[in-house]
A = this chain, B = another copy of it.
Amino acid sequence: MGQPKQERAVQTRLALMRAAAEVFDEHGYAGAGINKILKRAGLTAGALYFHFGSKEGLAEAVMNAQQDTIEPLLESRGLQRLVDITLVWAHQLGADPLLRAGVELSLGHEGFADGAPFESWRELMAGYLREARELGELREGVDPEAVARFVVGACTGVQLYSRQVDSRASLPRRVEEMWDCLLPGIAAPGTAQDFDYGVARGERLSRMREGA
């Protein structure tokens, strides 16, 4: 009986996070009443406090779930993996309220002022860039830590800009442009075109995820 109970707990957590994300998305964090979230999830206040302690704890879980909505179904390595994360992220931001709410909360204007979600993306990306270096994919002298830090910042700002001008409709194309600008400077000379960073790849990888 242990396993089903644990599965139910996972599903309850996820139901609360999804409901909270949707309500944050519609009303902002400050305007998201706990009752609205519970009604949307079809769950009780007891479940929320048991799993997250508070609305704040629930918001932190939403912020920290960003990578889990993207990583599990990617199989590429090194530099292509870094590219794939950004492609799927850009595509999914339009479709997935959980990811969207996590990104919004991370920007800090709702009072969540630490940089933990940024640092966590940076660590993940730096790992794939170190792998890329071992695979001989990086231009000599390129620092995986510095590139990871820059890509996290750049993605954050590119999504904000596209949110302001067209509600993120252009975001996948803007991320493709980012790699147009960046890859020639970080990939080993003459290899930038070996990586697939087109909008179509982001769509395809996201569909595989949705179908799973």
Contact = CB atoms under 8 A, between A and B. Distances in A.
Interface string A98-127: 000000001111000111001100000000
Contacts of A107: 107, 109, 160
A164 interface: yes
B108 A160 contact: yes
Interface in A142-163: 143, 146-147, 149-150, 152-163
Contacts of A177: 146, 149-150
Given A109-B107, A185-B184, A115 B161 contact: yes
Interface residues of A, number: 40
A139 interface: yes
Contact of A164 (B114, B162, B163): B114
Contact of A157 (B157, B181, B182): B157
Nearest to A171: B153
Given A115-B161, A160-B153, A184 B181 contact: no
A119 B149 contact: no
A186 interface: yes
A56 interface: no
11 contacts: A114-B164, A118-B165, A139-B184, A146-B181, A152-B157, A154-B154, A157-B158, A157-B159, A182-B185, A184-B184, A184-B185
